Amino acid sequence: MPDNNLQLDESGKLRHFLSIEGLNQEILTEILDTAESFTSVTDRTIKKVPILRGKTVANLFFEASTRTRSTFELAEQRLSADILSLNVTTSATVKGESLLDTLQNLEAMQIDMFVIRHQDSGSAYFFAQHVRPGVSVLNAGDGQHEHPTQAMLDMYTIRHHKKEFGNLRVAIVGDILHSRVARSQIHALNLLNTAEVRIIAPRTLLPIDAESLGVSVYEDLEAGLKDVDVVIMLRLQRERMRGALLPSEKEYFRKYGLSQERLERARPDAIVMHPGPANRGVEIESSVMDGNQSVILQQVSFGISVRMAVMSMIVGQSGLQTGTEA
């Protein structure tokens, strides 16, 4: 599915942001560096820069979302964009209009950038293949394929706390099979030359081709957590499960839930992450989620700067080049 020619322009810069797979370390590092330059905007009296002034961004969320949609909208506001957020539950697609018809009708309103979240894998690529020249598409999550901006805010969080990736062991725990976030995280961690990426899950929640992803595979949580620097917990995505993949949530927590006792198997300065929404008592114990090793709320905050970075790079401005408030 990744099509580098679609994501990048002739000079190798971002035109769309559809997936981590197919990109390179240079672009990922530029996203992280650009996001760092935007963190100062939150400290301003007026939290705006004029990078997207005069541009219209349409947020098309065909799946429910709180964190992703909210942080995209805040990022767009801080870049001074005009924003159209489509209420999909009452939109024409519910009434039978095709995705392509919806796209063409919105383009007629002179939209410059689409942020799309859809239940079908490949939907963001479909949009990118059909938009007019000069219009960009950002993938806010497509089916079980990828969630690239979530992965990049996770990478930013890791770099903020650990500085370098080259000596890190990172464990991703939980529903790997159904997680678009995990796929994007694995691609990003490998591109950034992370020393070791581990995935930990019951066999029923591991992809068939798990070993080919460039990871170490563990079915035992205690063994997989030994000496890791970063623990990323994932939500059980029951809405995407078919069949009885788990005996019960209680049994899942007994074997794969992150407790304070299990966290002690990681390095003493290990950080705990979760892309949200987290289910307390299912994949993570409340004492861990609220503990001093948890950086989960920081992930949400960093998401605004990372999404600002991606959008600014797409329009050809990396960071606060203008140096002025809107």
Q: Please state the rounded mean pLDDT for residues 9-36.
A: 95
**194-197, long-range: CB within 8 Å, 24+ apart, which pairs?**
194/165, 194/166, 194/168, 194/170, 195/165, 195/166, 195/167, 195/168, 195/169, 196/168, 196/169, 196/170, 197/170, 197/172
Beta strands in 62-112 (DSSP E): 82-86
pLDDT over 50 (residue 11): yes
Q: What is the pLDDT of residue 271?
A: 98
Q: What is the pLDDT of residue 322?
A: 44
Residues 309 and 285 in one domain: no
The answer to whether residue 77 sits within a structural domain is: yes
Q: Please state the rounded mean pLDDT for residues 124-134.
A: 92
Q: What is the pLDDT of residue 323?
A: 43
pLDDT tens, 157-172?
999 999 999 999 999 9
Residues 112 and 152 in one domain: no
Residues 210 and 295 in one domain: yes
pLDDT tens, 181-226?
999 999 999 999 999 999 999 998 999 888 899 999 999 999 999 9
Residues 9 and 48 in one domain: yes
Q: What is the pLDDT of residue 319?
A: 58
Residues 65 and 82 in one domain: yes
Residues 280 and 211 in one domain: yes
- Among 147, 249, 271, smallest CA distance to 205 is for 249
Question: Comparing 144 with 80, which gets the higher pLDDT?
Answer: 80
Q: What is the pLDDT of residue 179?
A: 93
Question: Comparing 279 with 249, which gets the higher pLDDT?
Answer: 279
Expressed as residue numbers, the domain containing 53 is 4-146+302-314
Q: Please state the rounded mean pLDDT for residues 285-302.
A: 96
User: H or E stretch including 94?
Assistant: none
Give the CATH number of the domain where residue 254 resides: 3.40.50.1370
- Pairwise CA distance, residues 216 & 243, whole Å: 26
The answer to whether residue 322 sits within a structural domain is: no
Q: What is the pLDDT of residue 238?
A: 55
Residues 135 and 152 in one domain: no
Residues 156 and 276 in one domain: yes
- In whole numbers, what is the pLDDT of the chain averaged over residues? 89
Q: What is the pLDDT of residue 97?
A: 62
The answer to whether residue 319 sits within a structural domain is: no
Q: Do 282 and 256 touch, CB atoms closer than 8 A?
A: no
Residues 69 and 132 in one domain: yes
Positive or negative, the CA dihedral 255, 259, 264, 270 is positive
The answer to whether residue 321 sits within a structural domain is: no
The answer to whether residue 40 sits within a structural domain is: yes
The answer to whether residue 203 sits within a structural domain is: yes
Residues 140 and 181 in one domain: no
The answer to whether residue 288 sits within a structural domain is: yes
Q: Please state the rounded mean pLDDT for residues 291-302.
A: 96
Residues 179 and 224 in one domain: yes
Residues 43 and 55 in one domain: yes
Report the domain count for the chain. 2
pLDDT tens, 52-99?
999 999 999 988 888 899 999 999 999 999 999 986 654 545 555 677
- pTM assigned to the model: 0.91
The answer to whether residue 94 sits within a structural domain is: yes
Q: Do 310 and 81 touch, CB atoms closer than 8 A?
A: no
> 58-62, 151-155, 313-317: lowest mean pLDDT where?
313-317
| Tokens linked to 227 | 């000496």
